[in-house]
């Protein structure tokens, strides 16, 4: 067993797309903390927390960094959001 712990921070949104957008915003804010791993961010319905929806693509890119685009993005992976 590892000596790592995960913080679960419930935040409420009205629907899945809004929850995913909010989770991406929070994930981007957390990039300033070296302990944060926003690539693993998921959202779920309050009454069905076993069904989780990924927020970020999180695929491993050259150099060992992870993609930070939304989970269902088109095109190549990237470390920065596209405008």
Structural domain span for residue 49: 1-83
Q: Within the chain, which residues score under 70 in pLDDT?
A: 1, 81-83
Domains of the chain: total: 1
Q: Which helix (H) or strand (E) holds 44?
A: strand 42-45
Could you report the per-residue pLDDT of 6-26, keeping only the tens digit for each?
Answer: 777 788 899 999 999 999 888
42 torsion bin: left (phi>0), alpha (psi -120 to 50), beta (else): beta
Residues in the chain: 83
How confident is the model at residue 81, as a pLDDT?
Answer: 61
Taking the C-alpha atoms of residue 43 and residue 19, their distance in angstroms, rounded to an integer, is: 7
How confident is the model at residue 83, as a pLDDT?
Answer: 54
Neighbours of 55 (CB within 10 A): 23
């Amino acid at each position: 067993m590892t000596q790592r712990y995960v913080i679960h921070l419930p935040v409420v949104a009205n629907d899945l797309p809004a929850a995913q957008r909010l989770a991406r915003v929070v994930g981007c804010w957390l990039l300033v903390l070296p302990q944060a791993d926003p690539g693993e961010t998921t959202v779920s319905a309050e009454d069905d927390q076993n069904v989780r929806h990924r927020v970020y693509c999180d695929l491993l890119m050259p150099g060992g960094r992870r993609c930070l685009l939304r989970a269902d993005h088109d095109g190549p992976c990237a470390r920065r959001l596209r405008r």
